[in-house]
Amino acid sequence: MERPLKMDKMPKWADVVLIPVISLILAAILSALVIVAIGEDPVEAVNLMVTGALGSTYGWGYTLYYATNFMFTGLAVAVAFHARMFNIGGEGQAMLGGLGVAMVCLYVPWPHWSLALLAACAGAMIFGAAWAAVPAYLQAKRGSHIVITTIMFNFIAAAVLNYMLVNVMRPQGSMDPASARFPEAVHLPTLHELLAPIGISFSKAAPANVTLLVAILACFVVWALIWRTRLGYEIRAYGHSETGALYAGISPVKITMIAMLISGALAGLMATNNVMGEAERLVLNSTEGAGFIGIAVALMGRSHPFGVFLAAILFGFLYQGGAELALWTSIPRELIVVIQALVILFTGALDNMVRMPLEKMFLAMRKGKA
Amino acid sequence: MTVPAIELKGISKSFGPVQANKDISISVAPGTIHGIIGENGAGKSTLMSILYGFYKADKGEIWINGAKTEIPDSQAAIAAGIGMVFQHFKLVENFTVLENIILGAEDGGLLKPSLAKARKTLKELATEYELNVDPDAVIEEIGVGMQQRVEILKALYRQADILILDEPTGVLTPAEADQLFRILHRLKDEGKTIILITHKLREIMEATDTVSVMRRGQMTATVKTSETNPQHLAELMVGRKVLLQVDKVPAKVGAPVLEIENLHVTDEKGVERVKGINLEVRAGEILGIAGVAGNGQSELLEVLGGMRPGTGSIRLNGSPLALSGAGSDARARRDQHIAHVPEDRQREGLIMDFHAWENVAFGYHHDPAYQSGIFMNNAALRADTERKIEKFDVRPADGWLAAKNFSGGNQQKIVVAREIERNPDLLLVGQPTRGVDIGAIEFIHQQIVALRDQGKAVLLVSVELEEIFSLSDRIAVMFDGHIMGERLPHETDEKELGLLMAGVDGKAA
Amino acid sequence: EPALIFDLGGKFDKSFNEAAHNGASRWAEETGGKYREIELQSEAQREQALRRFAEAGSNPVITMGFAMADPLSAVAADYPDTKFVAVDVTWLDAPNVRQIGFAEHEGSYLVGMMAAMASKSGTVGFIGGMDIPLIRHFGCGYAQGAKAVNPDVNIVANMTGTTPSAWNDPVKGSELTKAQIAQGADVIYAAAGGTGVGVLQTAADEGILSIGVDSNQNHLHPGKVLTSMLKRVDVAVYDAMKAGADVETGVFTMGLAEEGVGVAMDDNNASLVSDDMKGAVETARQDIIDGKTTVVSYYENDSCPAVSF
Amino acid sequence: MDFLTIIQVLDSTVRLATPLLLACLAGLYSERAGIFDIGLEGKMLMAAFFSAAVAAVSGSVWLGLLAGIASSLVLSGLHGLASITFRGNQLISGVAINFLAAGMTVLIAQDWFKQGGRTPSLFAGGRFEPINFPFAEALSGVPILGPIYSELLSGHSILVYLAFLAVPGTWWVLYRTRFGLRLRAVGENPAAVDTAGVSVVGLRYAAVAICGVLCGIAGAYLATALQAGFVKDMTAGRGFIALAALIFAKWRPWQAMWACLLFGLLQAIALRFQNIDLGGVVIPVQVMDALPYILTVVILAGFVGKAIPPRAGGEPYVKER
Ligand SMILES: Nc1ncnc2c1ncn2[C@@H]1O[C@H](COP(=O)(O)OP(=O)(O)OP(=O)(O)O)[C@@H](O)[C@H]1O
Ligand SMILES: Nc1ncnc2c1ncn2[C@@H]1O[C@H](COP(=O)(O)OP(=O)(O)OP(=O)(O)O)[C@@H](O)[C@H]1O
Ligand SMILES: [Mg+2]
Ligand SMILES: [Mg+2]
C-alpha cells in the first residue's frame, strides 16, 4: 500500500511561525497607518519606542518588568487554551492575586525577602486560583460559559478589591484607597541589585526584579507540565476532544477544574511582580489590563510557553515604548491599546484571513511538485 | 431517447488535499429511481450535495432536463426542482414541523399567511402520500422516522421533481424502510425522478432501475439494476473480489465473564435509552449485538466502557462493577481489564491531532510502563508504538505522523492494536470496520477472533448484519432499549433478525 | 525644564487638573519655556511617571493630588537633587518636596454664603467627589457659610464614590443632582473634579444654580453657574515653574489671605450676584483674614459642626 | 423612602436602562442569528464618541446620531468579517473590538479636539432634549398618577421612547415575520437555512448590521442624551451588563426589557445611595455595583432556570473542513 497523502494542509512551521509573523506585520502596518492618520510620524514613533524601551538598561528594566506581567497572564491564558477554555478572567484573578500578596506581605513579619517571595507566590496562586475556581466549577458542573462568567468575575473582583482597599486595608488617616507600604524586609531585589554582584550595571530606577526569574521558571514549568506530564497529556487530550477524554477515562470535570485553577494561579502570580516587586503596596487597578494582554500574548505565542515568552517581551516593549510615547510626544498611551487590539484581531479573530490563502498556496505548491 | 432529468458532466471537487469527486459524469433518466452505492468516503454525499448546491464543484457542469443549469446555491437547486433529504437531517430542532416546512419557502414577509397555506398543503400531501405528521409537533420531540418524513415533505412542499435521498434507511427499521420505498415508488409513478444513495445492496436490487457505483471519488460504473447482481456490485464497489467469510473454529465457551442484570441507561436529555436488559458474555465467545442504529446499543457500549452512568448491576468475572460515581469511569474499566474499541474512532478512540505514539497511550497513559518519575516516559512509549505498528501492519509505519494523517483503516488498526494488545478479559467493540476497506476488515476480524480463541470474552456491536453473522458466536438483537431475543447464527437468518430489529418478536409472529 | 503630572481625570477635567494646566500654560506663554507633562491612567503609573521625569532631569517635578503622597515618599529620597512640588499634600517628611495645601474650607465658606443667599427654597446641595477627608473639608466650609447666612438652611450632601473614578463620573453627578433637586435643592456646589461637569450640566438643564470648583467654571453655562470656588492651583503651579530648580521646599498653606482660594466673579455670573451678596462675601472674606470669623476645619477633629456626611 | 423618591429612582432607572436595553436588543439580534457578540461595549463606545464628536462639530444631534450608527456599523462589519467571512473565533473578535474602540476613541478624540481624549461639551442642538408630554406640567399635581405621568413617563429624550418601542418591535420581527423566522433558524441550525435555499452569510450579516445600528443608538444616547459629550471609557461596562441582561432574559425581547430595567434599577439605587442600610445591615456600595454581575453568575449557574443559548451560537458555519 502506498504512503497516503500527507493530509496536513501546510507544514507545521508555517502554522507556528509564518502565520503569526504575517499577522503581526499586518497589525504593524495598520498601526503605522493609524499613527499617520493622527498626524504623527510612524518612523519617529517607532524610533522613540525602540530607544525608550530597548535603548538603555532603564528602558529594558521597564520592558522586562511589563514582560514579566505578561508572561504570567499569557501562560494563564495559554494553559486554559490547551484545555480549550477561554479564560478572560486573568485580570480579576491577577487582582485577587494582589490581595493575596498584600496579605502575606503586610500581616506576616518576614525575616528575609526570599521567604516572603515564596509565601507571596503561594498567596498569589491561592487567591488567583480561588478566583478562577467558581467559573471553573460552573463550567464543569453546570456548563455555564466560562467566557461570560470570567468577565463577570473581573467586575466582581474590582468591586472586592475596591471594598478591601477602601474599607479594610486602607491605613488610618490615609486618603487613597491603597494598602500600607510593605515593610522593608519584603523588598524584592531589582535587576540592578541582582546584576551588580556580577559586575553588570543595570538601571537602579527600573522595576524589573527577581520575579522575572520566577516568570521564566513558570514558562519552563508550564512547558514540562503540558508536554511532559500525564496531567498535561490529559489537558491536551481534553482540549482536543471532549468525547475522546471521556473515552480515555479523563474526567472533564477534573480537567476543567485543574486547568482553570492552574490558569488562575498563574494569573495570580503576576501580583508578585507588580504588587510586591514594583509598587510595594496594593493599589486600585494595579493590573493595568495585563490580564487582557495575556490573551494577545497567548494567541501570538500559539499557547506555547516559549512563544508566550517571546510575545510577552514584544508586548513589554510595546507597553514601555507606548509609555515613552505618552511621555515625550502628544500621542496618547491608547495607541498601545489600539496596537494590542490589532494584534488580537489579526492573530486571533482574522487568523483565517492569513491562513486560507497560505493553505491554498501550499496546496498548489504540493500539487505542482507531485 | 428521452432527455435525461439530470446530467452531471466532469464534476470534480476537493476538500483541501482530499479529492472527494474526480471527474464524475452521470446521467439519470426522468421517472426512474437511480441508486448510487459506494464505500464510506467514496464521495457519494459530496456529489449529491453539489447537485443540490450545498457545495460548489471545482469543475464540471450540471444539466437539468436538457438545459445547462448553474447551481451556485440550494436556492438555485430548489428553483430547478431538486429536493434533497440529507444523511444528517437539516431541521431546526426547536421549531415546529410547520415552521421547518415553510423555512425558506415563505410567501411574503409575514408568517401568518404562509403558515396557514402550508398547513393546508401539508394536509393534502399527507393524504396523497401517506405522509402523516403533526404540523405543530416540535422536531426534537418526534422520532427520526418522523423527522425523515418532514424532510421529504419539505422537498415536496417546494414541488421538487427530482428527489435525492442520502442513506435514508440507515435510521429506519425494516418496516419503516418498506414504507419509505412504497412512497418512493408512488412518487416515481407520478413521474418524479429519484436518486437513492445507500450502501445496502439489497435495497439497490429491490428499489432501483439503474445503479451507479463510486469508489475513491470516482464513478466506476453505471448499470441497469436488472442486469447486475449483488456480488458484482460489491466487487465494483471495493475494486476486487470480496470475501466476507471469516475462518474460525467453533467457540470453546467458558465461564461467564460479563453478567449484565436489569441495566438501565438514560441519556443527557433524560430519555431512557437502555430499558432494563440482561446479558451474559462468556469466556471464549463473541456476543454480537444487532440492531438499527439508535436503539440503545451505543449507550450500552458506553456504559460498559465507563463513558456514561447507568443503573442496575454488572459483574465482571463475578465481582460487581460500579455503574455511576467513583470507579465507574473509563479508567476504572481499563484497570479491570476491559478494553474498548469505540464506535467512532475519530471522535472517541483517537485524538486526531496527536502523534500516533501519543495515541498509543490514549486511555492507558497511567500505565506505569509509560512513566518515569513525575514525567511520562515518551521513549518507552515510542518503542511500544513501533512494536504495535509493526505487528498490526499500520501504514505508513511512522509513529510521528498525526492520527488524522492516517487513512481510516489504519486509524482503526491503531485503535485495535492498542486495545487488543492489552490482552483484556473483555473486549468491547463497536462498529469495528465502519469505513474500513476490505483488506483491513479481514485483518481486524482475525484479531478479534484470535482474542476470543485465547479464551477472552468479546462484546461486538455492529449495524452491519453481515459482520454480525460472520463474527458472532451468539447474536442478541436490540430494539428500543430492549433485548428482543438471542439467536445462534446458524439457527437464524437475516429475515428473522430483521423482524426482531423492527421490534417484532419472531417467535410470536 | 519642569514637569507636571496630572492626576487621574486628566488635564481637561474643567476643574482641578485643568487649573494646573492653565498655570503651566501661562508660565510657558510668558517665559517661552517648555515643560513635560503626563496624564496618569492608573494608580500603578504614579511611581513610573515620577521616576521617569526625575531620571530625565526634569526639575521641578510638579504633582497633582494627595494620591501622589505615597509614591513621592518612596521616590523623593532617591533623587535628592530633584525638587518635587506636591499639590494637596502637606504631611510628608521629605526635604526636597514643596508641599502645598489650600484652605479650601475658607473659600467654600464664601460660596456657601452665596448659595444660601441665592436659594429660594432654603435648601442647598453639596456633591463631593471621592469620599475622603479633603472633600468633607470642602463640604464642611460650605455648610458653615450657608448656615452663617441662614441658620435654618437645609443642606443635602452626597459623595460620588469611594475610589478615584468618583472624580470622573458625570453620569453619577447628573443623577445625584436630579436627586438633590427632588429634595428641594436649588443651588448645588460640586466639589467633584470631572464629575462636576455632569452636576453643572444637569443643574443648568433643570434650571437651578450650581457652583463650580477649583477652576473658574462660570463660563461653562453662562448665567447658570452662581460662582466658582477658586483654588488657585494654577498660581501654585505657575509659581513653582517660575522658581524652577530653586523652588523653595517645605509645607505651605494658601488661604484667603494668600489669595490661594477665592470666589469667581466675572461677566458670566454678574447677573446672578446681587450687590448684597458681593458685600456679604467681601465682609466675610476680610473677617476671616482678620481672624474675626473662624471657619472650622474638618481636619481638626474629623467632624463638621454644620453638616453630617 | 417616600413616594417622590421612588418616582425619582424609577425615573433614573428608565434613563439608565435605556442604553442597556438598546445594547441588549442589539445583542439579541446578533446572538439569535448565531453570532456571539462580546463587543457590544466597544461598539457603543465608538458610537458614543462619533456621535458626540460630530454633534459637537456640526451642532446637529441628528448628524451625530447618524455618525454614531455609522461608526458602530463599521465595527459590526469587522466582527462580521472576522466571524462570518473568515470564520474566526467570535469571542476573540469581540475582545479585539472592545480594545480597538477603547483605544481609537481616545486617539481620535485627542487628535481632533486635543482635550485629553474627550469631546467638547455639547450644548443645545447638539443634544437630545427631553420630550415633555402634553399637560405634563399641569397634571404633576394630581396625586400618585400625576408624578408618574409627568416625572416618570414624560420628559425623556426621544431615544428612550425609541428603545422601549423597539421591544415590541423586536418581538414582532422575531416571531411574526419571515425575516425573524429565518434569523432564529440560522442561530439554531444554519445548515437547515442553507439547504432551504437561504443565504446564511446574508442573514448573519443582516443580524450583525442590526446589532450595529442598535449599539450605535445606544452609544449616541449615552453621549448626547444622558451626558453632554464623550469622555474616555464612558460606557463603563454597560455592554457587559447588557450581555448579562440578555442571558438573564434567555434571548427573548420582553424579558430583555425587564432584565434591563432591573439592572437599571440596581444602578439607579447604587448611584443615589452610597451604603444602603437595611435595618442594621449595611450593604456597601461595592455590592450594589457588583450586583448585576453576581446575578448573572447566579443565573448562569442555573439557579434561576437554565439559560440555553441559540444552539449554533459562537460557532462559525463551516461547510468544508
Ligand atoms: N465538508 C467536508 N470537508 C472536508 N472533507 C470532506 C467534507 N465532506 C466530505 N469530505 C471528505 O470527502 C470524502 C468523501 O466524502 P462523502 O461524505 O462524500 O462520502 P460518502 O460516499 O457519502 O460516504 P458515507 O458513505 O460515509 O456517507 C471523504 O474523504 C470525506 O472525508
Ligand atoms: N474519496 C477520496 N478521494 C481521494 N482520496 C481519498 C478519498 N477518500 C480518502 N482519500 C484519501 O486517500 C487516502 C486513503 O484513504 P482511505 O481512507 O480510503 O484509505 P484506504 O486506502 O481505504 O486505506 P485503509 O485500507 O487503511 O482504509 C487517505 O489519505 C485519504 O485521505
Ligand atoms: Mg455520505
Ligand atoms: Mg478506507
- A95-133 pLDDT, tens per residue? 999 999 999 999 999 999 999 999 999 999 999 999 999
Per DSSP, helices labelled H in B67-209 are 74-79, 97-102, 111-129, 144-157, 174-189, 201-207
| For ligand 1, atom 14: residue with the closest CA | B43
Grid cell for residue B387: 512494536
Rounded mean pLDDT of C66-88?
91
- In Å, how far are C62, C83, C229 from C245, measured between CA atoms? 11, 6, 30
Ligand nearest to the CA of B218: 2
Chain D residues touching residue C201 (CB < 8 angstroms): 121, 227-228
Rounded mean pLDDT of A270-285?
92
Q: Supply the DSSP symbol for B395.
A: S
Chain A residues touching residue D93 (CB < 8 angstroms): 345, 348-350
Distance from C173 to chain D by nearest Cα, in Å?
Answer: 9
Out of C41, C67, C78, the one facing A333 most closely (by C-beta) is: C41
Lowest mean pLDDT among B220-234, C89-103, C180-194: B220-234
Grid cell for residue B323: 455503574
pLDDT one-digit tens code per residue, C142-180: 999 999 999 999 999 998 887 777 888 888 898 899 889
| B297 & B395 share domain | yes
Indicate the pLDDT class of residue B111, thresholds 50, 70 and 90. very high
**Nearest chain A residue (CA) to C55:** A205
Report the 10 Å Cβ neighbour count for D264: 24
C191 CB contacts (<8 Å, ≥6 apart)?
A: C104, C108, C126, C127, C128, C129, C135, C138, C139, C142, C213, C229
**pLDDT at res. A2:** 33
Structural domain boundaries enclosing B282: 256-501
A175 to C133: CB separation less than 8 angstroms, yes or no: yes
The total number of structural domains that make up chain B: 2
| B420 & B488 share domain | yes
Rounded mean pLDDT of A279-293?
89
**Nearest chain C residue (CA) to D268:** C175
Pocket test residue of B214, B216, B442, B445 for ligand 2, highest count of atoms within 8 A of CB: B216
As for the ipTM of the complex, it is 0.85
Grid cell for residue C93: 517628611
| B162 & B282 share domain | no
State how beta strands B82-85 and B162-166 pair: parallel
Rounded mean pLDDT of B185-195?
93
- D171 in B contact zone (CB under 8 Å): no
A288 to C45: CB separation less than 8 angstroms, yes or no: yes
Distance CA B152, CA B104 (A): 15
pLDDT one-digit tens code per residue, A42-62: 999 999 999 989 998 989 999
- In Å, how far are C8, C35, C58 from C67, measured between CA atoms? 10, 22, 21
Residues A222 and A81: beta-carbon distance below 8 Å: no
Do the domain assignments include residue B508? Answer: no
A249 to B371: CB separation less than 8 angstroms, yes or no: no
The total number of structural domains that make up chain D: 1
Mean pLDDT over each residue of chain A, to the nearest integer: 90
Q: Supply the DSSP symbol for B476.
A: E
Do the domain assignments include residue B128? Answer: yes
Pocket test residue of B8, B11, B14, B18 for ligand 1, highest count of atoms within 8 A of CB: B18
A357 CB contacts (<8 Å, ≥6 apart)?
A: none
Assess whether pLDDT exceeds 50 at residue A92.
yes
Pocket test residue of B8, B39, B45 for ligand 1, highest count of atoms within 8 A of CB: B45
- In Å, how far are A80, A273, A277 from A266, measured between CA atoms? 11, 12, 16
B506 CB contacts (<8 Å, ≥6 apart)?
A: B485, B496, B499, B500
Grid cell for residue A238: 481534553
Distance from D179 to chain B by nearest Cα, in Å?
Answer: 7
D133 half-sphere exposure, CB direction, 13 A CA radius: 16
D265 CB contacts (<8 Å, ≥6 apart)?
A: D9, D10, D13, D17
Distance CA D156, CA C19 (A): 35
Structural domain boundaries enclosing D31: 17-236
| Nearest residue to A297 via CA among A250, A340, A236 | A340
Mean pLDDT over each residue of chain B, to the nearest integer: 89
Assess whether pLDDT exceeds 60 at residue A5.
no
Residues B143 and B293: beta-carbon distance below 8 Å: no
Residues B256 and B282: beta-carbon distance below 8 Å: yes
Grid cell for residue D281: 445591615
pLDDT one-digit tens code per residue, D208-245: 999 999 999 999 999 999 888 898 888 888 998 899 89
Taking the CA of residue B413 as reference, the ligand 2 atom at the shortest distance is 26
Lowest mean pLDDT among A101-105, B433-437, C89-93, C231-235: B433-437
**pLDDT at res. D274:** 67
Distance B44 CA to ligand 3 centre (A): 6
pLDDT one-digit tens code per residue, B57-88: 999 999 999 999 999 999 999 999 999 998 88
| B343 & B406 share domain | yes
Q: Positive or negative CA dihedral for D136, D138, D141, D142?
A: negative
| B178 & B300 share domain | no
| B289 & B193 share domain | no
Extents of the domains making up chain A: 42-48+56-352
The domain boundary residue, chosen from B188, B203, B238: B238
Out of D11, D118, D234, the one facing C12 most closely (by C-beta) is: D118
Across the beta sheet with C225-231, what order do the strands follow?
C154-161, C123-130, C187-191, C209-214, C225-231, C261-263
| Nearest residue to B233 via CA among B254, B210, B259, B249 | B210
In degrees and rounded to multiples of 5, residue B458 shows phi and psi of: -130, 130
Rounded mean pLDDT of A199-219?
92
| B296 & B155 share domain | no
**Nearest chain D residue (CA) to A164:** D286
Pocket of ligand 1 (CB under 6 A): B 15, 18, 20, 38, 40-46, 87, 199; D 319-321
Assess whether pLDDT exceeds 90 at residue C119.
yes
CB burial string B222-246: b at 16+ within 10 A, e below: beebeebeeeebbebbbeeeeeeee
Task: Give the bridge partners for C64, in sequence order.
Answer: C87
C174 to D115: CB separation less than 8 angstroms, yes or no: no
Is the minimum distance from the CB of B41 to ligand 2 under 6 angstroms? yes
Of C131 and D183, more confident: D183
| Nearest residue to B219 via CA among B393, B374, B476, B47 | B47
Distance B163 CA to ligand 2 centre (A): 29
Between helix D238-248 and helix D3-32 the angle, nearest 10°, is 80
Task: Give the bridge partners for B277, in sequence order.
Answer: B263
Is the preceding peptide bond at B396 cis, omega within 30 degrees of 0? yes
| B222 & B263 share domain | no
**pLDDT at res. C152:** 94
D272 to C162: CB separation less than 8 angstroms, yes or no: no
| B228 & B290 share domain | no
Mean pLDDT over each residue of chain C, to the nearest integer: 90
**Helix, strand, coil % in chain D, rounded to nearest 5:** 70, 5, 30
Is the minimum distance from the CB of B407 to ligand 2 under 6 angstroms? yes
Rounded mean pLDDT of A227-256?
95
E strand intervals along B317-372: 319-321, 338-341, 371-372
Do the domain assignments include residue D150? Answer: yes
Indicate the pLDDT class of residue A323, thresholds 50, 70 and 90. confident
Distance from A177 to chain D by nearest Cα, in Å?
Answer: 13
Of C244 and D207, more confident: D207
The CATH classification number of A42-48+56-352 equals 1.10.3470
C197 to D285: CB separation less than 8 angstroms, yes or no: no
